Amino acid sequence: MNLSFSFLSKLALVNFPANELKQKYKVHDYSQLVSGSDYVFERLNEGTIGYMTGSGTRIKPCDRIILQEGCESYQYQVEEVDYYSDPSDMWIALLKQVPID
């Protein structure tokens, strides 16, 4: 009886839609904001990673942030984020560049 329960459990995972298994994330578009006044982005490793300080309360790990430099847009994934205690909506995050969806 355990064998059939185990088989049915695995079968349920196989039939589960693939898009439901993917981790969901939000995209935060900062491309229209002004670097240096609305947010600060410090590029490291030729821009493939960086630290960003900004404001807002919904930034979470795995979220994506779109930034613009000149005419080029770049998308970054939030690797880590820490919120300041004062003001409570200010945060600093470690970002990793990813391809634009």
**Average pLDDT estimate for 76-90:** 95
pLDDT tens column, 37-63: 999 999 999 889 999 999 987 899 999
**CATH class of residue range 27-98:** mainly beta
Taking the domains of the chain in order of start, what are their residue ranges?
27-98
Torsion (CA) 36, 41, 44, 47 in degrees, nearest 10: -100
Query: Does the predicted TM-score (pTM) go above 0.85?
Result: no
Instruction: Specify the pLDDT at position 24.
Output: 85
Instruction: Specify the pLDDT at position 17.
Output: 52
pLDDT tens column, 4-43: 545 445 444 445 455 544 558 999 999 999 999 999 999 9
Instruction: Return d(Cα 11, Cα 99) in angstroms, integer.
Output: 33
Q: Long-range CB contacts (< 8 A, 24+ apart) of 16-23?
A: 23/62
Instruction: Specify the pLDDT at position 1.
Output: 46
Instruction: Specify the pLDDT at position 100.
Output: 87
